[in-house]
Amino acid sequence: MAFQTHPGSVAALAALLASPVLAQDSSVTLSPVTIVSSADDETISETITAEEIETRQPATLNELFAQSPEVVVSGANRMAAQKIYVRGIEETMLNVTVDGAKLGGNMYAHSGNFGIDPDLLKRVEVEAGAGSALAGPGALGGAIRYETKDPEDLLLPGRDQGYMLKLSAQTNGRRVTPGLAFYGTPDERFGYLVYLTKSWADDYKDGEGNKVADTGNDPLDALVKLRFRPADGHELSFSTTYRRDNGRRAYRSNFGIPPGLPDAIPEDQKLGWRSTSVSYRYNPAGDPLVDMTVSAYDTHSRLLRDIEVRQVSEWDTRGLDIRNRSDFGQVALTYGYDYGWTRSRGESGAGLGGSERGENHGLYVQADYTPTEQWLLSAGLRYDRATLRDLNGNDYKGVHFSPNLRLRYEPTEGLALFASWGEAFRGVQPVEGLTLIWPLGLGPQTDTSLTGELARTAELGAEWDRDGWRAGISGFTSKIEDKIRSWQGRGSPWFRENDGEIESRGITAHLGRSWQNWSADLRFSHIDVKYNDEPVSPGDWLDGVTPGGDKIVLALGYQMPAQNLEIGWTSTVVLKQTDLPADFQLDELPGYDVHDLTVTWRPARNQSYSLALTNIFDEQYLDHSTAYYGVDGWSNLYETGRSLRLSGTIRF
């Protein structure tokens, strides 16, 4: 495959790479490239760090989670179509937040709901399955928490203000992304960060050298953060994140469709979202009983189909959370109240329109008890009261208490055994805005007695971390009962009804070691997803599920401290999937393997340069989560073929 770039992009990148060294201290701390577990929060199953993001240079969500054993992203690199699944459960059934702001739900079944430049992130946490009472309302399949960077993450040592220039380029699709940031902490009380990135990219090519239609994009991302500490123990913070991603896209962009079919005809679409969160924290020194945080958020998402008869879909979420943590020594309590308001709205140039609104009031408490250094017992309880008024004025109400329990025992240094069980509840949700403008409206077969959906998750496992070795294994089972389905059949009114049960079960395991300048980590996951006791296929995307299967990730790292270099190799192997529904036309989903090489050079504290060669052997493959067209098992929405990526960052 011939590599291509935008005119002048290589020259611009070369100029950046050739910039003079601005700091002579070349000391650097390198870490192995891997997804790590969090020791600070027992409910976190995976964490992606800023160091890993810097090394791998992901530009989209599927690249961000490419090496995750429990997370998959559908839609290939067609940004506007990407949806995240955790253990086979779609993101719309998770509690997804950015800096504490809860993201919106479903704007359009054939479109994604969220996108962000991964370079803005310093941490991503994945909490798989129903669990802690602190995960928030509606976390049926768990939670994903995106945390953006702070001024301290970019400031040079000894500096209180600065700015950063970044440029990255990718050969496949000729992607170019410049970035600019201003930040500082002028004194101990005040901090600020303004971060902007802009991308330009053409359609990329798959592993066979074929262009994948309608995958070009030019998103603009912005981040603004402010922090003020008026006195000891008091902190005010503000964060807003914005994305605009407009372009020519297929009407049903989540499908890979043969050219010429109506669903594949490109149209102008404008997709954007904004999230804003503000919080106040009061944590007086010397008082272990008071660590209080009051936070509020507002999120708005909007999709415009700029066609002859324009269509608009919007999703708004607003909320409040008041919580406190009290430490009594062996017992620590976190308790509080949260409120969420959700609205879905649709509008058509033909004069059709409508909206649905929902609310949720929640009370929660989570207790951590450590009777000895070896034992941890965590127990919690959530109370949720959810309401919804639908398009026709019908009212839905659901009330539920959701308990959870977790036990962790460390019989010897480095070894931990754990077991957990938890529930999560979600009330009846609004439907997507584009359904609300359906000419035939809401049908009489809608079940107006619906109260909500209930998830239960149980997990059992063990971890080992000692003398450079790390290992772990866990088994889990999750069930979502009373699954509510909103269905729109062509030529008939749409309706919502209870549609049965989702079950996700499986095992995850990992083994790794660090010695001298080397690191090696091997991860494996086997996930089995069923809908009403039947296996699922990529054709079941409308039900919020995707096939699980078997995934193996091998990550190798080598550090060269004298040269300030870090080299990484990653191999991702997905085995073929044969457990499919009887009416699915394919006997199996083909397996595939992808191999990546990364090199990171930090010649000085203020400079970092990265090279990544992804999909080295030019594998042509479909992610098993990407929706197929109809039930015939056909799609051309292939993942990106071989690509060379270069990135350079200088901080002043």
Distance CA 26, CA 473 (A): 39
The answer for 122, left when phi > 0, alpha when psi is -120 to 50, beta otherwise, is: alpha
Dist. CA 318–CA 66, nearest whole Å: 31
Count of other CB atoms within 10 angstroms of residue 422: 28
Q: What is the pLDDT of residues 9-67, one digit of tens each?
A: 333 333 333 333 333 333 333 333 333 333 345 678 899 999 999 999 999 999 999 98
Rounded Cα–Cα distance for residues 457 and 480 (Å): 9
In order of their start, the domains of the chain are 41-651 (2.40.170.20)
- Order across the sheet with 89-90: list the strands: 71-74, 83-86, 89-90
The 8 Å CB, 24+ separation contacts for 122-125 are 122/49, 122/50, 122/147, 122/148, 122/149, 122/150, 122/153, 123/47, 123/48, 123/49, 123/50, 123/147, 124/47, 124/48, 124/64, 125/38, 125/41, 125/44, 125/46, 125/47
pLDDT digits (tens, 9 = 90+) for 100-154: 999 877 888 888 888 999 999 999 999 999 889 999 999 999 999 999 999 999 9
**Which residues in the chain show pLDDT less than 50?**
1-40
Q: Which helix (H) or strand (E) holds 611?
A: strand 607-614
Q: For position 427, what pLDDT does the model report?
A: 96
pLDDT at 252: 86
Please give the pLDDT value at position 631. 57
Q: State the number of CA atoms in the 13 A half-sphere of 364 facing the CB.
A: 30
- Residue whose pair of structure tokens reads 């008071």 in the numeric block: 290
* CA distances, 139 to each of 131, 305, 395, 425 (Å): 8, 30, 22, 7
Q: What is the pLDDT of residues 336-385, one digit of tens each?
A: 999 999 999 999 999 899 999 999 999 999 999 999 999 999 999 999 99
* pLDDT given for residue 253 in this prediction: 87
Q: Under DSSP, is residue 182 helix (H, G, I), strand (E, B) or coil?
A: strand
- pLDDT value of residue 26: 35
Q: What is the DSSP string of 134-153?
A: GG-TT-SSEEEEEEE--GGG
* Confidence at residue 106, expressed as pLDDT on a 0 to 100 scale: 86
Alpha carbon dihedral 220, 103, 75, 488, in 10-degree steps, equals: -120
pLDDT at position 41 is: 58
